[in-house]
Amino acid sequence: MKQNIYDNPVFFEGYTSKRETGLTINDFVEQPSIKSLIPNLEGKTVLDLGCGAGGLTKYCADNGASKVVGIDISSNMINKAKHDNSHEKIEYICTAIEDLNLNEQTFDIIISSLAVHYVEDYPKLVENVRNLLKGNGLFIFSTEHPISTARRQLTRTSKNWITDDEGNRLHWAIDHYHEEGKRAFHWLVDGVVMYHRSLSTLINTLIENGLVLEKVLEPQSTPEGLEKIPKLINEQRRPSFIVIKSRKSN
């Protein structure tokens, strides 16, 4: 079943009010990293998979893309994107990544910011991406790092940061690395589901589908982020995200 947690009203409210502060890990760790991999967009067509409220979609349109299609499974999110981040070059479509059907349109660049870990069938996703890319096109995506998703949460309150009695973070716990699949946890609401995949699965699936790896990033915080959210220093201790740029070979 395709997950649509962003249409849960409690989650949606909690998530959007958090993101709108502009003071999240996304703002200072993930977004600067994925943007650093996006090339000059002048005249390029872009597809944004799991566009959410359209922040990155709008960024692409503002930076010269000739056309941007943003898709998301959540109608809440698509409505918010249309309201907050509309642009004459952008078309927003409410659909699951897995169901995407764009009548043989192809794109110069496909981006996806922190959505791939919500998709159960990663090989199918990558196959779709390859078919939607023009020759020599780029697929640039960020996802939860396998180090971050590996350990099953044994109870709702268990955390992967192991702390001492005073709450100091001693280390990050890894386990179940090669048990790929569902990880359910509490994030604003119960039962948010992500899919854990090993690093080798993430990379080899791209290669097997004719995508050539160009860069892998495990981002840390920007200096501004460290100033505004001191705990982002912990990104040095273990990476939360991995960001991958690959190119379709001809």
Considering the complex, state which of residue 186 and residue 237 has its C-beta at the smaller distance from its own copies: 237
Q: Please, what is the minimum distance in Å from the beta carbon of residue 57 to its own copies?
A: 26
CB-hemisphere CA count at 13 Å for 103? 0
Q: Please, what is the minimum distance in Å from the beta carbon of residue 145 to its own copies?
A: 9
In one letter, which amino acid is 181?
G
Considering the complex, state which of residue 62 and residue 180 has its C-beta at the smaller distance from its own copies: 180
The dihedral built from the CA positions of residue 99, 148, 145 and 91, taken in this order, carries a sign that is positive
The number of residues in the chain equals 250
Q: Please, what is the minimum distance in Å from the beta carbon of residue 179 to its own copies?
A: 7
Q: Please, what is the minimum distance in Å from the beta carbon of residue 249 to its own copies?
A: 9
Q: What is the contact surface with its own copies in residues (CB under 8 A)? A: 147, 150-151, 162, 170-179, 198-200, 203-204, 207, 212-218, 220, 235-239, 242
Rounded Cα gap, residues 235 and 16, in angstroms: 23
Rounded Cα gap, residues 190 and 181, in angstroms: 18
Considering the complex, state which of residue 30 and residue 235 has its C-beta at the smaller distance from its own copies: 235
Q: Please, what is the minimum distance in Å from the beta carbon of residue 236 to its own copies?
A: 4
Considering the complex, state which of residue 156 and residue 171 has its C-beta at the smaller distance from its own copies: 171
- Our measurement of the distance from residue 160's CA atom to the centroid of its chain's CA atoms, rounded to an integer in Å, reads 20
Beta partners for residue 111, in sequence order: 48, 140
Instruction: Return the structure tokens found at 7.
Output: 């249409």
Q: Which of 84, 83, 113 is nearest to 97 (CA)?
A: 113
What 3-state DSSP class applies to 210?
Answer: coil
Considering the complex, state which of residue 67 and residue 151 has its C-beta at the smaller distance from its own copies: 151
